[in-house]
Chains A and B, each alone.
Chain A
Protein backbone atom coordinates (compact mmCIF):
# COMPACT_ATOMS: atom_id res chain seq x y z
CA UNK A 1 0.00 0.00 0.00
CA UNK A 2 1.33 3.47 -0.88
CA UNK A 3 0.08 4.95 2.35
CA UNK A 4 -1.80 8.21 2.66
CA UNK A 5 -0.99 10.36 -0.34
CA UNK A 6 -1.11 14.14 -0.16
CA UNK A 7 -0.57 16.66 -2.88
CA UNK A 8 1.04 18.99 -3.46
CA UNK A 9 4.05 18.59 -1.14
CA UNK A 10 4.75 22.29 -1.24
CA UNK A 11 2.54 25.20 -2.22
CA UNK A 12 3.48 28.85 -2.38
CA UNK A 13 0.67 31.23 -3.18
CA UNK A 14 -0.15 34.88 -2.95
CA UNK A 15 -2.53 36.25 -0.39
CA UNK A 16 -6.10 36.19 -1.66
CA UNK A 17 -5.64 33.19 -3.93
CA UNK A 18 -7.57 29.95 -3.58
CA UNK A 19 -5.60 26.95 -2.38
CA UNK A 20 -6.71 23.33 -2.66
CA UNK A 21 -4.96 20.55 -0.81
CA UNK A 22 -5.64 16.93 -1.71
CA UNK A 23 -5.57 13.66 0.15
CA UNK A 24 -6.00 10.03 -0.82
CA UNK A 25 -6.46 7.84 2.26
CA UNK A 26 -5.45 4.22 2.56
CA UNK A 27 -7.97 1.95 0.88
CA UNK A 28 -10.36 0.49 3.41
CA UNK A 29 -9.79 3.21 5.99
CA UNK A 30 -13.11 4.81 6.83
CA UNK A 31 -11.85 7.64 9.07
CA UNK A 32 -10.05 10.65 7.62
CA UNK A 33 -8.58 13.59 9.48
CA UNK A 34 -7.12 16.92 8.41
CA UNK A 35 -4.57 18.44 10.81
CA UNK A 36 -2.61 21.69 10.73
CA UNK A 37 0.82 22.11 12.27
CA UNK A 38 2.37 25.46 13.16
CA UNK A 39 5.30 26.39 15.35
CA UNK A 40 3.05 28.34 17.68
CA UNK A 41 0.17 25.91 18.12
CA UNK A 42 1.63 22.53 17.22
CA UNK A 43 -0.74 19.97 15.68
CA UNK A 44 -4.44 20.79 15.63
CA UNK A 45 -7.40 18.84 14.28
CA UNK A 46 -9.27 20.75 11.59
CA UNK A 47 -11.94 18.27 10.52
CA UNK A 48 -12.80 14.60 10.86
CA UNK A 49 -14.73 12.48 8.34
CA UNK A 50 -16.21 9.07 9.00
CA UNK A 51 -17.50 7.09 6.02
CA UNK A 52 -17.15 10.26 3.90
CA UNK A 53 -19.40 12.28 6.23
CA UNK A 54 -17.99 15.26 8.17
CA UNK A 55 -18.43 14.45 11.83
CA UNK A 56 -16.55 17.26 13.52
CA UNK A 57 -15.47 20.47 11.81
CA UNK A 58 -15.13 22.54 14.97
CA UNK A 59 -11.42 22.93 14.35
CA UNK A 60 -11.88 24.67 11.01
CA UNK A 61 -10.64 28.18 11.80
CA UNK A 62 -13.17 30.18 9.81
CA UNK A 63 -15.44 30.20 6.80
CA UNK A 64 -12.49 30.61 4.47
CA UNK A 65 -11.73 26.94 5.11
CA UNK A 66 -13.83 24.15 3.65
CA UNK A 67 -13.31 20.41 3.28
CA UNK A 68 -15.02 17.77 1.24
CA UNK A 69 -14.86 14.02 0.89
CA UNK A 70 -16.85 13.13 -2.24
CA UNK A 71 -15.88 9.46 -2.01
CA UNK A 72 -13.90 7.04 0.13
CA UNK A 73 -10.68 7.58 -1.79
CA UNK A 74 -10.41 11.35 -1.99
CA UNK A 75 -10.66 14.44 0.18
CA UNK A 76 -9.88 18.10 -0.36
CA UNK A 77 -9.18 21.00 1.96
CA UNK A 78 -9.76 24.39 0.38
CA UNK A 79 -8.80 27.83 1.60
CA UNK A 80 -10.41 30.77 -0.15
CA UNK A 81 -9.15 33.44 0.11
CA UNK A 82 -5.80 32.48 1.59
CA UNK A 83 -4.00 34.69 4.10
CA UNK A 84 -0.37 34.70 5.34
CA UNK A 85 -1.47 33.34 8.72
CA UNK A 86 -2.65 30.19 6.97
CA UNK A 87 0.98 29.29 6.32
CA UNK A 88 1.53 25.93 7.98
CA UNK A 89 2.01 22.24 7.25
CA UNK A 90 -1.29 20.50 6.61
CA UNK A 91 -1.44 16.78 7.30
CA UNK A 92 -4.04 14.27 6.27
CA UNK A 93 -4.33 11.04 8.26
CA UNK A 94 -6.55 8.00 7.93
CA UNK A 95 -7.52 5.15 10.19
CA UNK A 96 -9.42 1.93 9.74
CA UNK A 97 -11.61 3.07 12.61
CA UNK A 98 -11.34 5.77 15.23
CA UNK A 99 -9.75 3.74 17.98
CA UNK A 100 -7.10 2.20 15.76
CA UNK A 101 -3.73 3.67 14.90
CA UNK A 102 -3.39 6.47 12.42
CA UNK A 103 -1.38 6.70 9.20
CA UNK A 104 -0.27 10.19 8.28
CA UNK A 105 0.45 11.57 4.86
CA UNK A 106 3.70 13.41 4.16
CA UNK A 107 2.00 16.75 4.58
CA UNK A 108 1.60 19.83 2.41
CA UNK A 109 3.77 22.80 3.36
CA UNK A 110 1.74 25.90 2.52
CA UNK A 111 3.29 29.32 2.33
CA UNK A 112 1.05 32.30 1.69
CA UNK A 113 2.95 35.46 0.83
Chain B
Protein backbone atom coordinates (compact mmCIF):
# COMPACT_ATOMS: atom_id res chain seq x y z
CA UNK B 1 0.00 0.00 0.00
CA UNK B 2 1.23 3.47 -0.88
CA UNK B 3 1.74 5.54 2.24
CA UNK B 4 0.82 9.16 1.61
CA UNK B 5 2.07 11.68 4.14
CA UNK B 6 1.09 15.32 4.29
CA UNK B 7 2.57 18.20 6.19
CA UNK B 8 1.76 20.28 8.01
CA UNK B 9 -1.37 18.79 9.57
CA UNK B 10 -2.66 22.24 10.51
CA UNK B 11 -1.71 25.63 9.14
CA UNK B 12 -2.79 29.14 10.05
CA UNK B 13 -1.81 32.04 7.83
CA UNK B 14 -2.63 35.69 7.50
CA UNK B 15 -4.38 36.93 4.41
CA UNK B 16 -1.89 37.59 1.65
CA UNK B 17 0.71 35.08 2.78
CA UNK B 18 2.26 32.49 0.47
CA UNK B 19 1.30 28.98 1.56
CA UNK B 20 2.93 25.64 0.86
CA UNK B 21 1.51 22.23 1.68
CA UNK B 22 3.68 19.18 1.16
CA UNK B 23 2.89 15.60 0.21
CA UNK B 24 5.16 12.60 -0.02
CA UNK B 25 4.41 9.05 -1.08
CA UNK B 26 6.24 5.79 -0.72
CA UNK B 27 5.92 3.93 -4.02
CA UNK B 28 5.60 4.74 -7.70
CA UNK B 29 2.35 6.24 -8.86
CA UNK B 30 0.52 7.00 -12.07
CA UNK B 31 -0.87 10.34 -10.88
CA UNK B 32 -1.09 12.61 -7.86
CA UNK B 33 -4.27 14.48 -6.96
CA UNK B 34 -4.87 17.55 -4.85
CA UNK B 35 -8.37 17.87 -3.43
CA UNK B 36 -10.05 20.65 -1.47
CA UNK B 37 -12.71 20.04 1.14
CA UNK B 38 -14.60 23.01 2.54
CA UNK B 39 -16.27 23.06 5.95
CA UNK B 40 -19.56 22.19 4.27
CA UNK B 41 -17.96 18.86 3.41
CA UNK B 42 -17.93 18.80 -0.39
CA UNK B 43 -14.75 17.65 -2.12
CA UNK B 44 -13.42 19.44 -5.17
CA UNK B 45 -10.64 18.13 -7.35
CA UNK B 46 -8.03 20.87 -7.77
CA UNK B 47 -5.27 19.17 -9.73
CA UNK B 48 -4.23 15.86 -11.16
CA UNK B 49 -0.61 15.70 -12.22
CA UNK B 50 1.95 13.09 -13.13
CA UNK B 51 4.91 15.37 -13.84
CA UNK B 52 6.06 18.96 -13.69
CA UNK B 53 3.79 21.77 -12.60
CA UNK B 54 0.21 22.93 -13.05
CA UNK B 55 -1.28 26.34 -12.29
CA UNK B 56 -4.85 27.44 -11.82
CA UNK B 57 -5.39 30.97 -10.67
CA UNK B 58 -3.54 31.44 -7.39
CA UNK B 59 -2.95 27.72 -6.96
CA UNK B 60 0.17 25.94 -8.17
CA UNK B 61 0.89 22.23 -7.86
CA UNK B 62 4.27 20.67 -8.48
CA UNK B 63 5.51 17.12 -8.44
CA UNK B 64 8.97 15.57 -8.34
CA UNK B 65 8.66 11.96 -9.43
CA UNK B 66 12.22 11.02 -8.47
CA UNK B 67 11.81 12.35 -4.94
CA UNK B 68 8.20 11.09 -4.64
CA UNK B 69 7.10 14.50 -3.47
CA UNK B 70 4.46 17.04 -4.41
CA UNK B 71 3.66 20.52 -3.19
CA UNK B 72 0.58 22.70 -3.35
CA UNK B 73 1.22 26.43 -3.25
CA UNK B 74 -1.31 29.18 -2.70
CA UNK B 75 -0.22 32.70 -3.57
CA UNK B 76 -1.83 35.80 -2.04
CA UNK B 77 -3.92 33.64 0.31
CA UNK B 78 -7.46 34.71 1.16
CA UNK B 79 -9.86 33.68 3.92
CA UNK B 80 -11.96 31.84 1.34
CA UNK B 81 -8.99 29.50 0.83
CA UNK B 82 -9.67 28.14 4.33
CA UNK B 83 -10.36 24.45 3.84
CA UNK B 84 -8.83 21.02 4.21
CA UNK B 85 -6.43 20.14 1.41
CA UNK B 86 -6.00 16.46 0.69
CA UNK B 87 -3.28 14.80 -1.32
CA UNK B 88 -4.12 11.48 -2.98
CA UNK B 89 -1.96 9.15 -5.03
CA UNK B 90 -3.15 6.86 -7.82
CA UNK B 91 -1.47 3.51 -7.52
CA UNK B 92 0.13 2.03 -10.59
CA UNK B 93 -2.94 -0.17 -10.94
CA UNK B 94 -4.62 3.04 -11.97
CA UNK B 95 -7.81 3.31 -10.05
CA UNK B 96 -7.12 3.08 -6.34
CA UNK B 97 -6.54 6.37 -4.56
CA UNK B 98 -4.50 6.39 -1.36
CA UNK B 99 -5.27 9.52 0.61
CA UNK B 100 -3.21 11.64 2.94
CA UNK B 101 -4.80 12.70 6.22
CA UNK B 102 -5.29 16.24 4.95
CA UNK B 103 -3.96 19.67 5.88
CA UNK B 104 -6.39 21.98 7.61
CA UNK B 105 -5.73 25.56 6.45
CA UNK B 106 -7.12 28.63 8.14
CA UNK B 107 -6.47 32.01 6.55
CA UNK B 108 -7.27 34.92 8.82
CA UNK B 109 -8.10 38.45 7.63
Residues in chain A within 8 A of chain B (CB atoms): 31, 33, 42-45, 48, 50, 55-56, 89, 91, 93, 98-104, 106-107, 109
* Partner among A44, A48, A102, A106 whose Cβ is within 8 Å of the Cβ of B45: A102
Please classify how large the interface on chain B is, using the bins under 10, 10 to 19, 20 to 34, 35 or more: 20 to 34
B96 touches A48 (CB 8 A): yes
Q: Which residues of A contact B95 (CB under 8 A)?
A: 31, 33, 48, 50, 55-56, 98
B30 touches A99 (CB 8 A): yes
Interface of B is mostly: strand
In this complex, the member of B31, B97, B100 whose beta carbon has the largest number of chain A beta carbons within 10 angstroms is B97
Nearest chain A residue, comparing its CB with the CB of B98: A45
Question: Given contacts A43-B86, A91-B43, A106-B41, is CB(A100)–CB(B48) below 8 Å?
Answer: yes
B45 touches A107 (CB 8 A): no
Query: How many angstroms between the C-alpha atoms of A33 and B95 in the bound complex?
Result: 9
